[in-house]
Structure 1
Amino acid sequence: MPPEPSDRTEVLAIGPKIRALPIIHGSGDCAIRAREELLAHPYDCLAVPLPPSFRGDVEEAVDALPSISVVLQRDAEGETDGFTYVPVDPCQPVVAAIRTAMGERIARAFVDLESPRFEGRTGYYPDPYALKRVRVEGFASAILPGLPPPDPEGSQARRHAWMANRLRELEDRHESILFVCSITDWPWVRDAYQRRAEAPEPEWFLPQMRTCRVDPKTLIFLLGELPYITGLYERGRRELTPDDNLSVDGVKEMLLASRERLRKDRPKVARRITPQLLSVYFRYVRNLSLVERRLTPDLYSLVMAAKQTAGDDLALALGETAREYPYHEAFDRGERPWWWDEPPLRMGDGRAEVPSWGTAAMTSRLPGQAIAWRSCELRPRPPEPDQKKWKQRWDPYGMCSYPPEDQRIESFQRHVADQARAILGADLARSEKFTTSVRDGIDIRETLRNWHKGDLYVKVIPPSRGSIDAVVFLFDVPADPKVYVHRATWFAEHAEESTLAFFATDPMQNLVGPGIAQAEYGGALFLYPPRLIPDIWEDPRLRRLDTLEERLIGGALLHSKERHVALVCPKPPPASWRRLARRHGRKLVHLPLRKFSGQLLERLRTFHVLNGKHVRSYAADFIREM
């Protein structure tokens, strides 16, 4: 015989043979808890809060999992003309309990009241991730004071009285019953059971049932968890891998999948998503979740954090990845159900496009967390037809830069010039024995070298001689002339800008808006203060320089008024570049590219070409921040 059920005084005990499991509909954590509860105790009956008319269709749809479907019941004629539905979702606790009971040959009872029009109640509940540390009894008891009682004459009170009487009937046939119900129904069903509330008279109507598959593009409106996270729960079940912490680990895996997705479409952008950036991203997500009083993030927090830490590209990739459910065409039985070949249902927010019916209002029989919609502005990549139209209207004789990018890279090149001047001063540094002043600081190396003498040495760094007015950036060495086909020399519009010569990718291959093209520097030369110079790509004095890098360095050596030229590149300059500098009476001051942040460099080398100064008035509406 099964063991004696829990004592009547237990929090979740409804009767001597009935134990309730209060859950939040649509929660993967609660679905795992329902599955573990059924497998951990010898229940011989599962009671679920659905009417008996749903039983055949729901169990058939559960048998077709992991392919997601929806069971519809048309509302009776009246004020509304819509449907109530049951989402057959692996992360629905009620569906997970039915699925487990079917696998373990446990009897199922559908105990809810048949009603021609169902009134679903969503709510704002604590994050069910707390069930990792808190027992179900404590979680449910903590919520209990905040649950408003139902209207004694309303439909919810009638449902509670009906389910209490159905549970009492089940006690006559079963020894141990698990009642999986919403956390908002549990105390009132228990109260109706304890006071033996009289069962209401059911309304007579003819249920019109229908099962539909769901368009995979609209699953995000149907499922309680994100479709990608739902797929991870299903993968854990199929591959017998741990799935008890997917509400957090699944978010990390989803972000990595988004990065891989971005790496295929835009590999140069994906390079910016470094482990350091991911660390900043997850700290930001954590803070956003705590601000919203959540333990786990929602999609809005994930996308907003991606936008503000890595730009619109990652935010868009994350949003697209979150909508993917990999098991849409998988069936546990190995064959499609008969209704799978019919047109799919397209789900929306509270409404759906039902095949052969049209758009109708939808009410879930398993309502969960209330949904709050918030806007997040993202700039997607423009469609191909728009790009072709913008390319046809492009004026090749009217091009200019984007001022915010000019200010950013001008500030950086001045910082590089200051770094190069510091290197010039460091070359003249010397050490001397300490007498009365520490001068420019303690020279640790020289002091340790003379430690046996007991002398202290200090640094003496004299003022640097000369200045630097030419800075050369080489981002890609060796540069492929087939890739960097755009070569130009731009002159300053005002005294705070440099004269710029560069080679870059073809901007016409990446139009991001009307009159707005995006390119990427391969190398750039900055001359500051600005001056008029011949176009270095047409200058006959530089004709003998074959490579793009040599032409850019040659232009800097030719037009620099100072003896030193700053060179930022991945490797030290080869002997040919140093000989070129000596022929012009100049010297290259090398700064390694790795000295600067890779994310910063990727942001700086991406720039936009505008087709006229008038485009600046609306360019910000189309340019995505990196």
Structure 2
Amino acid sequence: MTSRLHLETFGPVHALPILHYRMEFAHLVRQTVQEIRPDCIAVELPATLEERFLQAVRRLPQVSVVSYDTIPRSASTAAQNRTLHLLVEPADPLAEAARCALEQAIPLHLVDVDLDDYPAVQEFLPDSYAVQRLGLADYYREYCRATEGAVPGREDLRREQGMAFRLQRLAERHERILFVGGMAHVGRIREFYGQARTEPLGRVRRHDVRIFNLHPDSCGEVMGEFPFASAIYEMRRNGPPPERKDAAPSLRRRFNALELIAGGKQAIPEQEVMRAAVESSAGKVGASGEMPDRQRIHLRLFEQAARHYRQETGEQLHYWQKRAFFRFCRNYAALSGQLLPDLFQLLTAARGCVDDNFAYAFWRLAGCYPWQREEAEIPVVRLRVEDLWDQSRTIRFRPRKQSDKGRSGLRFLKRKREQRPGEWLEGFDDGSICSWPPEDIVIEDYGKFLRRTGIRQLSEEQSRVEPLSTSLLDGIDLRETIRNQPHDGRIYVWERMRIKGGVGSVVVIFDEDRRNRYPFAMTWLGEHEQESDMAFYATEPGDNVSGPGICRCEYGGLLLSYPPRRMRDVWQDPSYRGWGTKAEILLMAALDYSPDPHVVYAAARPPRSIFKRIAAGMGKKIVYIPLGSLSPPALKRIRVMHLLFGHDKREIAKDYIW
């Protein structure tokens, strides 16, 4: 038996202490059944629910809800009745125990006592992920030590005495009994088992037990394990699924020219896309037969959500966002006394570290449970957190969308679409390529903003602070004055040095393209004095046809050089061959074509030191601006561009670009 298992043995009973609705303990149940080969399985549920509970277990992997009404003893009116709901889902240890019993034809017994007035008990339990690292023996020992002085309630004692009595009766007929019960009860059940007991009072029959199919929209809100994790557990239950050889489908599919010719414009159901994401993740959260690693599940969920986010918005998550996400999750979980975050904390981190669009994509994928359907052979019920628990937390997503002020709210629906396969390809008969003027205005304005930012940064770097003597210069430096007040008492002023010369070129690198994801490289000249010359590398235009003669591209990097109409094709210029990456070619061209002594370089990483020496030899200076210091929404806005094949497409472009 592996070290992760731990059983409390008394007589023929092998008791497995578990936490309810935790994936790690469901895996331990299955492992225990394979190890000890019991001839009887007992679970911590009342026999009054047996018929509906077994019906729900046979429906797995579909999630069912077993509901019944309770009548407290002190109730004086029917209005005080309350409805209890029991979720039967794959990652629950009790459901897994019953499932194993049915699959292997092992007798199953529900040995708990049915009480109407059992109070709601809130226990602060250690994170179940600790079992993955420590093993159940150390986990259970620390739990017993932490709860050693706790006084059990009267109802708990009745239930534990009743379970001990029924286990005594089962011991008379079976030689090896597996009992799956809550960690809070196993120790006292063991004590009561060694004493002579009588069956305690409790309900022996219920006539109002009902079973429902849980609505798919409720899965993410009420399931014990969030649906993505439960789905991975279910898929790995009989071994990891085979890896998909075909490319995973996209949430928002784009079509290239060949697909349009072949009429391959087919909508892919979102449920199929979500299931593919779960299947591709199921085989990467642990080796075959091992306990699924919850930490890896969170990683795979983040990566799949990032992929869908990029397909939906055209925006790629950067490494620093991923690092900030998991650091935020770690700290948030530590504040609540857990090792790993729950779904609410994951969503909060997704919204705070990226944006609402990513958080919404994260939520849709986390709530994906492929087997659940709106129609079933039994009634369907919608549940909310308030129906099961006394407390809940709310998070709202506000995905960004284009404002509808001053225009019809149905503008997106009025966007023109292809009437027949291949219609849009008829617009590519013009060999000239041009840009769309509204996008030119946006990117030129941002280039001017980067030029001002670079000059301001240089001025701040060369500013100086000195004690007040004869002039206030550019103003009082409060920080230096306060810092030196205790031992100096003088007032300090600062002077911003005036920078000679301006910025002649601006380089923005979104991606250094070390994997050749941006194969399309081009240089074009400004059409008038208010536009700059531009060189860029971007995605292939034919991969995303947006209209007749209109293609959508994403910049990997770009160069803006002022004044216009001076730049040769930098990609064919032999002077720049051998510099390696496309980003470095753009930087070399920026130094060459800049008439001013400063070149702004905005990228995730600073340029190599050799470029600073080359710039110094040319009498110029590179002003580096970290990409993370710039506004992400502004960068996302300028990163997308549209290529128009012919100037006549400018008149119709507004009908196809949204």
The residue that corresponds to 2:318 in the other structure is 274
Q: For 2:330, which of 286, 291, 296 is the aligned residue?
A: 286
Change (3 A) 1:467 1:259: same
Alignment of 1:126 with 2:126, yes or no, is: yes
Q: Tell me the residue number matched to 2:81.
A: 81
- Indicate which of 247, 254, 257 corresponds to 2:304: 257
CA–CA distance in 2 between the matches of 1:29 and 1:480?
59
Which residue does 1:216 correspond to in 2? 216
Q: CA deviation at 1:254?
A: 0.5
In the alignment, what sits opposite 1:164? 164
Residues 229 and 246 in structure 1, CA contact (< 8 A), matched pair in contact too? no
Residues 521, 605 of structure 1: 8 Å contact kept: no
Distance in 1 of aligned mates of 2:61 and 2:222 = 15
TM-align CA RMSD: 4.8
Give 3-state SS (helix, strand or coil) of 2:45's partner: coil
Shift of 1:303: 2.3
Judge which range, 67-76 or 304-313, deviates more: 304-313
C-alpha displacement at 1:289, in angstroms?
A: 2.5
Tell me how far 1:414 sits from its aligned partner.
4.0
Which stretch of structure 1 is more off in the superposition, 136-145 or 213-222?
Answer: 136-145
CA deviation after TM superposition for structure 1 residue 577, in Å = 10
Q: Is the 8 A contact 1:479 1:522 kept in 2?
A: no
Q: Name the counterpart of 1:47.
A: 42
Residues of 2 paired with 1:473 and 1:59: CA distance?
66
Q: In the TM superposition, what whole-angstrom CA distance separates every residue of 1:536-590 from its partner, at most 9, and x where no partner exists?
A: xxxxxxxxxxxx978x743999xxxxxxxxxxx95757999999x79xxx56865
Distance 1:83 1:465, change over 3 A: closer
TM-score, length-scaled by structure 1: 0.60
**1:470·1:556 contact (CA, 8 Å) conserved in 2?**
no
Preserved contact between residue 51 and residue 113 of structure 1 (Cα < 8 Å): yes
Q: Counterpart in 2 of 1:22?
A: 17
Q: How does 1:102-501 map to 2 (within 5 A)?
A: 102-147=102-147, 148-151=150-153, 154-203=154-203, 206-240=206-240, 242=288, 244-267=291-314, 269=315, 271=316, 273-329=317-373, 340-351=376-387, 362=388, 373-374=392-393, 376=395, 378-381=397-400, 412-417=450-455, 466-468=500-502, 472=506
Give the letter aligned to residue 332 of structure 2. Answer: L
Pairing 1:32–2:20 present: no
The aligned amino acid for 1:381 is: R
User: Do the aligned residues in 2 keep the contact of 1:70 with 1:214 (CA within 8 Å)?
Assistant: yes
Identify the range of structure 1 (114-123 vs 63-72) with the bigger mean alpha-carbon deviation: 114-123
Q: What's the offset of the Cα at 1:410?
A: 8.2
Give the secondary-structure state (helix, strand or coil) at the position aligned to 1:50: strand
Contact 1:417–1:471, Cα closer than 8 Å, also in 2:
no
Count of residues paired in the alignment: 448
* Structure 1 letter corresponding to 2:10: G
Deviation at 1:329, TM superposition (A): 4.8
Change in Cα spacing, 1:556 to 1:129, as seen in structure 2 (3 Å) is: same
Indicate conservation of the 8 Å contact 2:67/2:209, yes or no.
Answer: yes
- In structure 1, give the amino acid aligned to 2:137: E
State the Cα deviation string for residues 211-248 of structure 1 (Å, max 9, x = none). Answer: 11111111123321111111111111244353513311
Q: Kindly provide the amino acid, as one letter, of the partner of residue 605 in structure 1.
A: L
Deviation of 1:322 after TM superposition, in Å, equals 1.4
2: distance between equivalents of 1:89 and 1:318? 22
CA distance in 2, matches of 1:555, 1:75: 82
Could you say what secondary structure the match of 1:114 adopts?
Answer: coil
Preserved CA contact (<8 Å) 1:51 1:110: yes
What amino acid is the match of 1:159? R
CA contact (8 A) 1:161 1:200 kept: yes
Given that 1:129 and 1:296 are in contact with CA atoms closer than 8 Å, whether structure 2 keeps it comes out as yes
2-side partners of 1:216 and 1:104: how far apart? 30
| Within-5 A mapping of 1:54-69 | 54-69=49-64
Flag the 1:388–1:109 CA change in 2: closer, same or farther, 3 A: farther
- 2:398 counterpart letter in structure 1: R
Which SS does the other structure have where 1:111 is aligned? strand
2:101 is equivalent to residue 101 of structure 1: yes
Change (3 A) 1:489 1:324: farther
Contact 2:507 2:560 in 1 (8 A): no
Deviation at 1:522? 8.8
Q: 2 CA distance for matches of 1:210 and 1:475?
A: 61
Change (3 A) 1:311 1:465: closer
Gaps of 5+ in 1: 4-9, 331-338, 352-361, 364-370, 393-406, 422-462, 491-519, 526-547, 558-568, 609-626
Q: How does 1:441-590 map to 2 (within 5 A)?
A: 466-468=500-502, 472=506, 553-554=563-564, 586=595
Give me the whole-angstrom Cα distance separating, in 2, the residues matched to 1:177 and 1:44: 6
CA positional deviation for 1:591: 5.2
> CA 1:183–1:479 in 2, change beyond 3 Å: closer, same or farther?
farther
1:13–1:29: structure 2 CA closer, same or farther, 3 Å change rule?
Answer: closer
Give the AA of the match of 1:275.
Answer: Y
Considering Cα pairs closer than 8 Å and 6+ residues apart, tell me whether 1 or 2 has the greater RCO: 1
Q: Whole-Å Cα distance in 1 between the matches of residues 404 and 455 of structure 2?
A: 44
Bigger radius of gyration among the two: 1
| Residue aligned with 1:87, SS | strand
TM-score of the superposition, structure 2-length normalised? 0.58
Query: Hey, what's the Cα distance between the residues in 1 that align with 2:406 and 2:309?
Result: 21
Cα distance in 1, alignment partners of residues 498 and 585 from structure 2 = 22
**Alpha-carbon offset, residue 385 of structure 1:** 7.6
Aligned to 2:385, what secondary structure does the other structure show?
A: coil
Deviation at 1:34, TM superposition (A): 1.3
CA contact (8 A) 2:65 2:88 kept: yes
What amino acid does structure 2 have at the position aligned with 1:248?
Answer: Q
Is the contact between residue 578 and residue 587 of structure 1 (CA under 8 Å) also seen in structure 2? no
Distance 1:56 1:412 in 2: 70
Letter of the structure 2 residue corresponding to residue 258 of structure 1: A
Question: SS at the partner of 2:68?
Answer: strand
Query: 1:150: Cα distance to partner?
Result: 2.3
Q: 1:24 to 1:409 in 2, by over 3 A?
A: farther
Residue 215 of structure 2 contacts residue 372 of structure 2 at CA under 8 Å; is this kept in 1? no
Q: Compared with structure 1, are the counterparts of its residues 139 and 576 closer, same or farther at alpha carbon in structure 2 (3 Å cutoff)?
A: closer
Is 1:72 aligned to 2:67, yes or no?
Answer: yes
Return the letter of the residue paired with 1:225. Answer: E
Contact 1:72 1:210 in 2 (8 A): yes
1:206 and 1:344 mapped to 2: Cα distance?
A: 21
- 1:261-310 per-residue CA deviation (whole Å, 9 max, x = no partner) reads 2122101x2x2x12343234323322332333222221233223323332
